[in-house]
Amino acid sequence: MHQHFSLLPFNTFGIEVHAQYYERIEQVADLQKVLKTGIQPVMILGGGSNLLLTQDIPGLVVHNAIEGIEIVRKFNNKVWVKVGGGVNWHAFVQWAVKNGLGGVENLSLIPGTVGASPVQNIGAYGVEIKDVFVQLEAVALETGKICRFNKAQCQFGYRDSYFKKEGKGKFCITSVTFSLTQHQHRLQLSYGDITRTLAQQHVENPGIAEISAAIIQIRRSKLPDPAQIGNCGSFFKNPEVDRSVLEAIRTNYPNVVSFDLPDGRVKIPAGWLIEQCGWKGKRVGNTGAYEKQALVLVNYGGATGAEVKALAFAIIDSVWVRFGVRLEAEVNIL
């Protein structure tokens, strides 16, 4: 077990903070063993790609590095795939595409690990984890016991789940099982720039591999590489508001972008709201809103977590004052 361990290499924002104690675990038994030390509190670290660290972390940081991808059940058109919580998310998507398994291709190039994916109910380009989720296994940090959660128990919402509410900080997700299609894939092409990108690539009859490649191209064109510029991707959730709010905004901004929701409300892109407030490409000290996508906050080098947090709250305040819409952070701020 390491003491006063730097977490700089383990968070994509590139923030220098230290863990009081740090342990990397590769098996469930490793986790159960380290929990018996009784060191508290316990924080689970995955890919560090949805995390803004603003201070040193007391207690024990457990780095989930449990690997493994296994087909555990086959149906006529579907397979259940059990994936270790420490597996890189994009590596899993690439494995699925390579093996002709559909359902997660729209989630290509999302940073982070498989174990973190249900916590956030990660989603992109019209697909969310809940669409392919079967169940997960997790270790209760208080008891060391293995628990299983089905879809209903996870309480999935928009970038939300049980593990961000009542279950927050209580479990380490050690594996997730997904239901993927072997053929007759239900392709989701209607969101974002997918269709336009496929047309530019002269793809007339796309399959899951072509969709994955298109989304990788789109994401790389809009989002900075954390290896070059520290960031966590989308920092804020896209707000879901009543239609009356949209109509009020449309009075002064007739070109406002919005998406209808099943419950009658609408979703407004947070990036559009932030851009209208003048933040896109604006630099504040060592941090700022990315020049190609206002939704992404970046560390230009040497920024502290406190600096990034201050910028985030300044953006939240300005959007509230101008539009009467309260942005929420998608990133976990510690």
Supply the residues annotated as catalytic: 159, 234, 330
- The CA distance from 177 to 186, in Å, is 19
Among residues 51, 164, 45, 170, which one has the least CA distance to residue 115?
Answer: 45
- The CA distance from 147 to 167, in Å, is 12
- The CA distance from 138 to 24, in Å, is 16
- The CA distance from 42 to 36, in Å, is 11
Query: What six digits make up the tokens of 172?
Result: 């380490």
Query: What six digits make up the tokens of 313?
Result: 């709250």
CB atoms within 10 A of CB 333: 14
Phi, psi of 85 (to 5 degrees): -60, -25
Spatial contact of 40 and 141, defined as CB atoms under 8 Å apart: no
Give residue for tokens 């002064």: 252
Among residues 288, 282, 311, which one has the least CA distance to residue 301?
Answer: 288
- Looking from the CA of 249 toward its CB, the CA atoms found within 13 Å total 24
Among residues 67, 20, 70, which one has the least CA distance to residue 46?
Answer: 67
CA dihedral 230, 231, 232, 234 (to 10 degrees): -170
